[in-house]
Structure 1
């Protein structure tokens, strides 16, 4: 076929192409809610705390409130688009319909980077928790990572029923663990002594009673990337559209119920974990802040037992984000943007095993390179913060592009059937775009964050080069592409076999 106006070309495929790339519907409202909350909840066990020594507790609370506003706008916008376009492509599908093949590819690429790196960050924190529980040498960390990836690739590959069942179980277990922590910590809170123990300049105040904003508003801005970690990945839910039994109804409900629960939980975690021993300053250097809190409440023995249970939070997110990156790789591969072989599903279980393994290999590679490049002796805060900022950068670009997609679809496709409409409308999307851009500027402006951003930029450059040189001339009319081309009014002429492929799921 000849090149289209965007410089892309669609190749004909037969019906067997889509037969080898089928997913199985299974998920209901509870499963979707658990998948969304589970993807995020590890961020309330680890990662959020790493900016406390810079901006202080008050700075993080304000940063978290700003980021919560962004996620309310984002999830409201995504809920509307997901109900209107219930396909596994999710953000890539929204952007493809709004901005063409290049917009769809770049949005999908941003999410791929976000989820693969987010899984790597969570795996790193899981290793830190396991090392703390078993008191093992840092040299064993790569073995923990390898075991975690092996276990959860297996669980995700076991079938959609098993995958969603595990997601519900470990998410509820993680929420229960957080609830136990809140109940135990609340009577011990000494806010001024422990949460406010950071002085201007970042020094420790042994007796607390420091300023609310020890680094002023600059400290608030510097904590935006860490506040993102309290919510990152709730937006993955549209990736489950083709495995949902009622996506138009359940996706919007699960998104909004999930973000509401996470806002409440994030506030409780920041308040209670920092306001008990060892305090905000000490938590900033920890890769297992909840474990530190349990130790102060229950002592070393009891804290160790509950901290082992607390691994459920990290496991829930690791499991859910592995699900997310596999479906993101699957949808882009099915459409031809990534090598097509990555979208082949298991003939019996109908799970994208190849995409699961590919994302795991890349995540392990990134972890290993960063671990040995930075050196374990530089500490968990440096390595974890580096990886976290790489994931957040990919997420912010994705959020900005999704907000633009929402605005363009509202303006260009007013007649599109929308079973759910965002209560925040265009204002929510504009706020999302603005806050995401501010967060990216903070990352670019800070030498501590910039190195991670550069690493992601190299990844983007390589993927864009692949798309430009190879895959843009080998695209396939997947459900996302077929919908977008029909809405543009000039779909490429399909072969007879293509007309037998799947249509966008209603």
Structure 2
């Protein structure tokens, strides 16, 4: 591209910078994940018993913590809207960058479709209405809010997330006095290999429970997707994602221990609304009713924020030429990637009509674990190949930390197969379709041949745009 063409191209593909500080980014990270505290994770107890699920949850907590620390470093060094795609492209090249972006896209496009099905069930419990019109309403409303602008959307998201967090903490406070460790181990011991009171379904259950344990943290890796809208990306994104992870560790411990410890592991393992059922089992019906309402807020918070995440990822992939370039066009005044919000929303709505929420979410987990492995490996390669790359934040433990994330993400990937082979194979079909598109078309139509070239073009075009703006206002 000529210089003038660069400026014209990127002028139509700008996000609104300086919108989010670290606290708002931390809220975004919590919002991505918070619905997982309300339901879903507890079915892992049915796979492994409480003790087996606790082992799975600790392993996944370590995986996410080490991954988050690795992402914090890479986001401080490479603060672009592509998040993991940008990191992998710089470390491993264009093909690996695209495959990382594709993996995250599978996760982020499918997760809202699964969550809106769960929203429909919660909405039905409160109103009696569910189905296609409920799914459509939630997609229309929350995609519409994002079209209003990123500042407005993130503030609304913080309010919704705050309500969900209140519900979890209030539940924890009330149930604390009812905790009895004997309730954690009331699932009958089976004949499975390695079975015991602590592991009533044996070691295989721990393996099958890994995908459920991921629900306590799934999608936090999306915080770096907001880098180009942060006030100070090199500082705000690392602080935001680490703060969110620490808070989510706290809420995970709260729900995993107190719900089963107060109401019994066997009951919680079968519950569609574990917080509500635990409160009712302990005679707190009024709070249970409130939490039932706020549980819908938790689902909405994750639905809302993941829509934000997929739009920024598609924006970055499209701007680089991996996806059709028209998807990265932003609106003139609000600087919102409208097409990157609307088109995947239509896709997600159509997927939600299957009604297979558990299967869809398991497929999202496959995409997530593949992306985690590639992002962790990218951190290792960047440390080895570009040791002098400026890093305002450095991962404690360096490549040892990201090595742990890499190994655990590969183990978690096999856990999805142990739980539901269909989800594994269906997701591989999506990867095959995405790879065919890349090798058949987009590989030869990239805007820049390398990550370094892309970032240089972005920086140059931004500088030219800033000069043009200053001249127009002087």
Q: TM-score, normalised by structure 2?
A: 0.91
Q: 1:466 to 1:504 in 2, by over 3 A?
A: farther
Distance 1:475 1:11 in 2: 17
Matched, 1:474 2:471: no
Q: 1:201 to 1:486 in 2, by over 3 A?
A: same
Distance 1:289 1:38 in 2: 19
1:233 matched to which residue of 2?
219
1:426 to 399, 404, 407: 399
Matched, 1:394 2:394: no
> Deviation per CA, 1:4-32, whole angstroms, max 9, x where unpaired?
xxxxxx99954222111110020011110
> Deviation per CA, 1:235-283, whole angstroms, max 9, x where unpaired?
1111111100111111111111111111111011011122233x33333
Pairing 1:317-466 to 2, within 5 Å after superposition: 317-369=302-354, 371=355, 383-444=356-417, 446=418, 448-466=419-437
Give the number of aligned pairs: 461
Q: Is the 8 A contact 1:47 1:226 kept in 2?
A: yes
Distance 2:144 2:349 in 1: 16
> Deviation per CA, 1:56-79, whole angstroms, max 9, x where unpaired?
111111111111111111011100
1:206 matched to which residue of 2?
none
Pairing 1:66-105 to 2, within 5 Å after superposition: 66-105=59-98
Q: TM-score, normalised by structure 1?
A: 0.86
2:232 matched to which residue of 1?
246
Distance 1:12 1:46 in 2: 52
Pairing 1:33-432 to 2, within 5 Å after superposition: 33-134=26-127, 136=128, 140-193=130-183, 195-201=184-190, 211-277=197-263, 279-297=264-282, 302-369=287-354, 371=355, 383-432=356-405
> Deviation per CA, 1:267-303, whole angstroms, max 9, x where unpaired?
11011122233x3333334332223234334565652
1:484 matched to which residue of 2?
452
Instruction: Between 86-95 and 310-319, report the one with greater CA deviation.
Output: 310-319
Q: Is the 8 A contact 1:30 1:168 kept in 2?
A: no
Q: 1:499 to 1:326 in 2, by over 3 A?
A: closer
Q: 1:171 to 1:302 in 2, by over 3 A?
A: closer
- Matched position secondary structure for 1:331: helix
> Deviation per CA, 1:360-416, whole angstroms, max 9, x where unpaired?
1121222213x2xxxxxxxxxxx4432221111111000000011000000110110
> Deviation per CA, 1:121-177, whole angstroms, max 9, x where unpaired?
22222222222233x37xx23332222111110111110110111122122221111
Alpha-carbon shift at residue 202 of structure 1 (Å)? 9.7
> Deviation per CA, 1:313-347, whole angstroms, max 9, x where unpaired?
11211111111111011100111101111111111
Q: Is the 8 A contact 1:399 1:433 kept in 2?
A: yes
Alpha-carbon shift at residue 483 of structure 1 (Å)? 4.4
Q: 1:499 to 1:163 in 2, by over 3 A?
A: closer
Q: Is the 8 A contact 2:73 2:393 kept in 1?
A: yes
Q: Is the 8 A contact 1:88 1:241 kept in 2?
A: yes
What runs of 5+ residues in structure 1 fail to find an aligned partner?
2-9, 204-209, 372-382
